[in-house]
């Protein structure tokens, strides 16, 4: 065998070895794609914070009022957004349209509103987004309900106990006898108990 033949033989073997190595790498990373994204150190990356859901939720139900917390995200630049209360008689009351500014702002909105001076009824709360040009509904959140009965305070489903999260100042007089359990008073909010012992 000449030196030229030996060189060609060696080159052919190295090309086959290189091809086998490439094939092994391709197979390894297609079967185990996590190896490509594996961190180089022992520390794990911090988990991503989940975005809050789009919703309007009764956080607290008083004797004649409801504290509603809302969160909403939108990218529509030609829309208006309203926090709405569905009244027992079927009408809709806009609690706030401050989810809209001029010029129209997009992004994440959150806040709270107090729905006051309510007679005993069941009320629904939602965020409605419509196009400003023609009023066509773009999006609406799930309607969350609260029952105001004039005798019970707390969250939407509290059995005879005070519960929920106060977002606004609240007064409970001695004429209202109740047990407290799970009531959260937010920073900067006052809960006044008249005649408490």
Q: What is the CATH number of domain 55-193?
A: 2.60.40.10
pLDDT digits (tens, 9 = 90+) for 25-77: 444 444 444 444 444 445 555 555 566 688 999 998 888 899 999 999 888 88
Q: Is the pLDDT of residue 114 over 70?
A: yes
Q: How many CA atoms lie within 13 A of 170 on its CB side?
A: 27
Residue 139 pLDDT grade (very low, low, confident, very high; cuts 50, 70, 90): very high
The closest alpha carbon to 54, from 39, 69, 42, 44, belongs to 69
Boundaries of every domain in the chain: 3-36, 55-193
pLDDT digits (tens, 9 = 90+) for 170-191: 887 765 555 555 678 888 998 8
Structure tokens, 128: 């409605």
Distance CA 11, CA 34 (A): 34
Q: Read out DSSP for 144-188?
A: EEEEE-SS--BSTT-SSEEEEEE-S-EEE-TTS--EEEEEEE-TT
């Amino acid at each position: 065998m000449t030196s030229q033949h030996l060189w060609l033989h060696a080159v052919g073997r190295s090309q086959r070895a290189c091809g086998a190595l490439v094939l092994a790498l391709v197979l390894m990373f297609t079967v185990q794609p996590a190896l490509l994204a594996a961190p180089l150190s022992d520390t794990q990356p911090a988990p991503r914070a989940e975005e809050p859901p789009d919703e309007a939720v009764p956080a607290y139900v008083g004797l004649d009022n409801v504290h509603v917390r809302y969160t909403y995200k939108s990218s529509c630049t030609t829309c208006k957004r309203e926090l709405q209360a569905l009244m027992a008689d079927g009408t809709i009351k806009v609690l706030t349209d401050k989810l809209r500014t001029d010029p129209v702002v997009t992004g994440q909105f959150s806040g709270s509103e107090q729905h006051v001076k309510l007679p005993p009824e069941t009320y629904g709360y939602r965020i409605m987004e419509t196009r400003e040009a023609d009023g066509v509904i773009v999006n609406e959140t799930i309607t969350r309900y609260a029952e105001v009965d004039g005798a019970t305070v707390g969250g939407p489903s509290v059995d005879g106990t005070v519960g929920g999260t106060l977002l606004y100042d609240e007064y409970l007089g001695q004429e209202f006898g109740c047990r407290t359990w799970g009531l959260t008073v937010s920073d900067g909010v006052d809960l006044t108990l008249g005649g408490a012992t």
